[in-house]
Amino acid sequence: MENVTVVDHPLVQHKLSIMRDKSTSTASFRQLLREISLLLCYEVTRDLDLTIKAIETPMQEMDAPTLKGKKLVFASILRAGNGLLEGMLDLVPSARVAHVGLYRDHETLEAVEYYYKAPTDLEDRVVIAVDPMLATANSATLAVDKLKRSGAKNLRFLCLLAAPEGIKAFEAAHPDVPIFTAALDSHLNDKGYIVPGLGDAGDRMYGTK
Ligand code: PRP
Ligand code: URA
């Protein structure tokens, strides 16, 4: 698990525990996901390169650090990825956005694609794929396959909960893509759900169950 960073900040852990609680309302779940995404975004962008720009403060000229290179790309794996995306865009409003529409077939647990739209110039950009759940990793693996086929070379994957099975599968498929997660859970159950988990992230976000 060399490629995995667990974001164990106390605020992240506290908010995540409230999200896991089955009595938490849809509105609170969505709000907490947005809040957590700001903290996770802070960690996943921690090592971005900076460059120096000459500016003038009201006091004097200075060489000021600014982000280097082209705008970031956030790639949301629909639907639930949008819960992370929205908060991340609050923090990095200039980021470009890719949408990868996938759902899990409940019988086979294979990811089924229904939509894909990404900026055309992914080659030179840092691309951060986001989805709250890394369970079997079928969805994350297919999403990253597609982003790579569109040219992405510098990728990270950000989630809220990961299962050991998913991490193993994702690392085998994409050893070059670091994973950032708020928690590493125990295992998958026989239906492919993360345990202890938080249930179905999309359903809890949008009240569809
Ligand atoms: C959930 C979740 C991930 C996927 C994870 O999406 O948001 O995309 O399952 O499972 P995996 O690692 O086994 O592929 P779901 O298919 O329920 O779609 P939704 O976001 O539209 O609810
Ligand atoms: N998708 C979810 O939303 N939850 C899980 O536990 C596994 C996959």
pLDDT tens-digit readout, 12-56: 999 999 999 999 999 999 999 999 999 999 999 999 999 999 999
CATH number for 4-206 (one of 3.40.50.2020, 3.40.1030.10, 3.40.50.620, 3.50.50.60): it is: 3.40.50.2020
Mutate to test the pocket of ligand 1, among 79, 107, 139, 161 (most ligand atoms within 8 A of CB): 139
For the stretch 182-191, contacts whose Cβ atoms lie closer than 8 Å and that sit 24 or more positions apart, written own/partner, are: 182/6, 182/7, 182/12, 182/13, 182/16, 182/36, 182/40, 183/6, 183/13, 183/16, 184/1, 184/4, 184/6, 185/161, 187/163, 188/135, 188/136, 188/163, 191/106
Whether 32 and 83 have beta carbons less than 8 Å apart is answered as: no
pLDDT tens-digit readout, 123-179: 999 999 999 999 999 999 999 999 999 999 999 999 999 999 999 999 999 999 999
pLDDT tens-digit readout, 58-101: 999 999 999 999 999 999 999 999 999 999 999 999 999 999 99
- Residue 188 in contact with ligand 2 by CB distance below 6 A: no
Domain ranges of the chain: 4-206
Q: Is there a catalytic annotation at residue 156?
A: no
Both structure tokens of 162:
């990961």
Q: Is there a catalytic annotation at residue 47?
A: no
Please pick, among 51, 108, 121, 149, the residue that the annotation labels catalytic: 108
